[in-house]
Amino acid sequence: MCLENGPALFIHGLVKLIKLLLSQQTGCGHVMPALRLFGRKWLVASDDLVYPGLFELAVRTIWLTLIVILYIRYYDYTWECTKGGDYVRAYILGMMALLVVVIVILIALVNRSAQGSITDVESRKHVPAILLLKIFLIIPETVLNVFGTMWAFCGDVIVCEHEEHFSKTVIEALAIFNWALFGLAVFGLALIFDPLGSKRYHDVQETPGGGESLRHRKVTSIWQRRFRWAFCWLRSDEHGNEAFRQVAALLSDLFRSTDLVPSDIVAGCILLRVKQKKETREMRRIQMLADDEPKYTCDLNRIFAVAPRWMNLENARHFLRLSIAAYGWPFVMYRHCVTGICRLLTEITCCGCFSSKSSMIIDDNCCLCHLAGVKYISKIRQEDILFASFRNHVFELPFCIIADHKTASIVVAIRGSISLRDIFTDLSAASDRFDVPGVSPETMAHKGMAEGANYVAKILKEIGVIDKALALYPEYDLIFTGHSLGAGVASLLALKLRPKYPDVKVYAFATPAGLLSREAAKLTESFIFTVGVGDDFVMRLGVDSIENLRTSVMQVLHASCLPKYRVVLNGCGYALFGVPSGDLETTWRDDIVSSSGRSPLLDHRPIPTVTEATEACLLTRDISQRRFSRTRLYTAGRILHIVSRKKTKAERKAGTGGPSYEMRWAVAEDFMELKVMPRMLLDHLPENVYKTIDIILREQRDNVSEII
């Protein structure tokens, strides 16, 4: 009886095993887009297999063609092998059959993976089963590849009198490529492995009152271990472990209660670009952007008529050059990859290690290359560089103090982000109390930048160089300047030192958005001049805007009717040719349009029926219910926003030029939402900010000359 029922019991047990392996339900009780396999979640979705499947399908087809040719040319000779002929025949026939099966499975896998929209998991319910079958085929494929390796590289195991150069070359190549493919599969498995993919972590619900769940603590711990392993050299920094903890907590909170995989975020950003263009077109159509008076203007006199005299673009261009100079030799090499060394040679101090070092130059290398870069970019004499620290640790930024005789100023130029240590300073984005005399005790600031400001203030106090310089040049102004991270640190430093130096002024360029609480940011408008260009994403980058971006990504993923492979393919076309008008409508599902005719894509509130309660809570815009950001932080200073100007119909018809840029005084609230735009990175680069200001001033000068 046992023998008779053996096959039935085996099949029954196999069916139960497959059901267990393909289980996709979590303790949350709702279907998620991430792939569930072997009873756990992976960092890949069921619709991520289209392009990898097509690539492998092409490779397998080529292999099958070669094996068929090998069979036709060599199979009959295998009967003449004196040793190991059975291995050769088993390899040829087995590999042919296996490749046919694998190709059929790949076709089915690509077809099923391409079905449905991104969140329509039900359309791809067969993908895990097909993928599981393909994974099981790795076992016979490995056995056959051992036979092929023996044939190709073990001459004493298989001995055949007839040796054909083509056949031997094919077998050697197939054996090597098979092992390479096996290695890639193992590597890919490691990449998509989710340490918290086990079902038991999804069974743990959020604790009442906002307490941390087991899953959240585990995610934070995993991120910290990753940072310690990947950036082990940063552990020697005094604040390295603190930065790891801060960034790990941020990343854990941002993706808390979501099931997004990396490809979902990429697709979401592409869809956001389409959504934003659709919103702009719709708002123009209903004349939401049409005012009697344009928001932006090309008239510099009109713009700066309401600003203090020291806030002008001539000064801004000059101090931006000094901000760029703080980047040192890396910026020279970045801008002049081929001739950079030659440009620095005239400023480098050869054999500086053997000469007495100045106590005013800290942590430069043997030949003072950083100082050489500062001198080359700023065109400042070395004797006018009063102090320069190139020490770069977490929360510790390089900066220079310059006696600028051209503007009669003592300038403190603070370097922006250029190293991994700077990135950890940027990402330590929790809001922390910032105690400054004369400012509300409830003032909050970006923790990493506040620590950077405290570090610079400490060094300035220890060396006393500003007091000495102002004593030497009593009529000179005190100016702080910086770009990006340097701009944020310079703004906080000025706020911190203003009680001692009440006339301090700041020229900040591309300042990050999440810098300072609102009341303190308003206070800085009298002594901080902030310049931003176009679609600069850093000027919109903060914890709050990233959380909003996460919300928007989830909204557009649910609203899209396209499969992910189409979204990615369209994204490549958008990068090259822009977003066509037809895609603005065909990208979205028909059921997202409400009965009033208004699309939820134009609504800044979250879609209430996007998903279950946990995700709906995640999508909330209420700042009091944020996972990480409890205090909204803003850009400091008075903000001049410069954008490219579109030519008028008359100018296009006449073929004339006109001003290239227009500008307006913006407020910090204008930079609270991240936008996915083609120039979002380019507009942040310091050389492009400098070029924009330079073009504006040059065009103004040309216009004045024409009038005269």
- In tens, the pLDDT along 33-59 reads 678 777 777 878 888 899 999 998 998
Most confidently modeled of 408-412, 620-624, 666-670?
408-412
Q: What is the pLDDT of residue 457?
A: 95
638: which strand partners? 529
| First CA to last CA distance, the chain | 110
Give residues with Cβ within 8 angstroms of 440, minimum separation 6. Answer: 517, 519, 520
Give residues with Cβ within 8 angstroms of 8, minimum separation 6. Answer: none
- 493 with 515: CB under 8 angstroms? no
The pLDDT of residue 211 is above 60: no
Average pLDDT estimate for 640-669:
82
Average model confidence (pLDDT) for the chain?
80
pLDDT band at 203 (very low <50, low <70, confident <90, very high): very low
Average pLDDT estimate for 94-113:
92
Give residues with Cβ within 8 angstroms of 512, minimum separation 6. Answer: 426, 446, 449, 484, 485, 487, 488, 538, 539, 541, 542, 635
The pLDDT of residue 420 is above 90: no
The pLDDT of residue 184 is above 80: yes
| Least trusted range by pLDDT, from 359-373, 496-510, 559-573, 580-594 | 580-594
Give me the long-range contacts of 278-282 (CB less than 8 A, separation at least 24).
278/584, 278/585, 278/599, 278/601, 278/602, 279/601, 279/602, 281/581, 281/584, 282/599, 282/602
Q: Which residues of 317-327 are buried (b: 16+ CB within 10 A; e: fewer)?
A: bbbbbbbbbbb
More confident residue, 560 or 596: 560
The pLDDT of residue 135 is above 50: yes
The pLDDT of residue 227 is above 60: yes
Q: What is the pLDDT of residue 701?
A: 85
- Summarised one tens digit per residue, pLDDT across range 490-519 is 999 999 999 999 999 999 999 998 899 999
Q: Return d(Cα 368, Cα 346) in angstroms, integer.
A: 12
Average pLDDT estimate for 445-464:
93
Three-class secondary structure of residue 476 per DSSP: coil
Classify domain 300-542+638-707 at the CATH topology level: Rossmann fold (3.40.50)
The tokens describing 688, both together, are: 């492009």
More confident residue, 148 or 353: 148
708 DSSP assignment = -
- 175 with 148: CB under 8 angstroms? yes
Considering the chain, tell me which residue range(s) the CATH 3.40.50.1820 domain(s) occupy. 300-542+638-707
- Summarised one tens digit per residue, pLDDT across range 512-534 is 988 999 999 999 999 999 999 99
Q: What is the pLDDT of residue 692?
A: 95
- Summarised one tens digit per residue, pLDDT across range 356-372 is 556 688 888 878 888 99
β strands within 449-563, DSSP E: 477-483, 505-509, 528-533
Q: Return d(Cα 427, Cα 244) in angstroms, integer.
A: 9
Q: Return d(Cα 478, Cα 466) in angstroms, integer.
A: 8
pLDDT band at 250 (very low <50, low <70, confident <90, very high): confident
Average pLDDT estimate for 86-104:
85
Give me the long-range contacts of 34-41 (CB less than 8 A, separation at least 24).
34/194, 34/259, 34/260, 34/261, 35/127, 35/128, 35/131, 36/128, 37/128, 37/131, 37/132, 39/198, 39/199, 40/194, 40/197, 40/198, 40/199, 41/194, 41/196, 41/197, 41/202, 41/259
Three-class secondary structure of residue 198 per DSSP: strand
Looking at residue 332, its amino acid is V
- Summarised one tens digit per residue, pLDDT across range 307-349 is 999 999 999 999 999 999 999 999 999 999 889 888 888 888 7
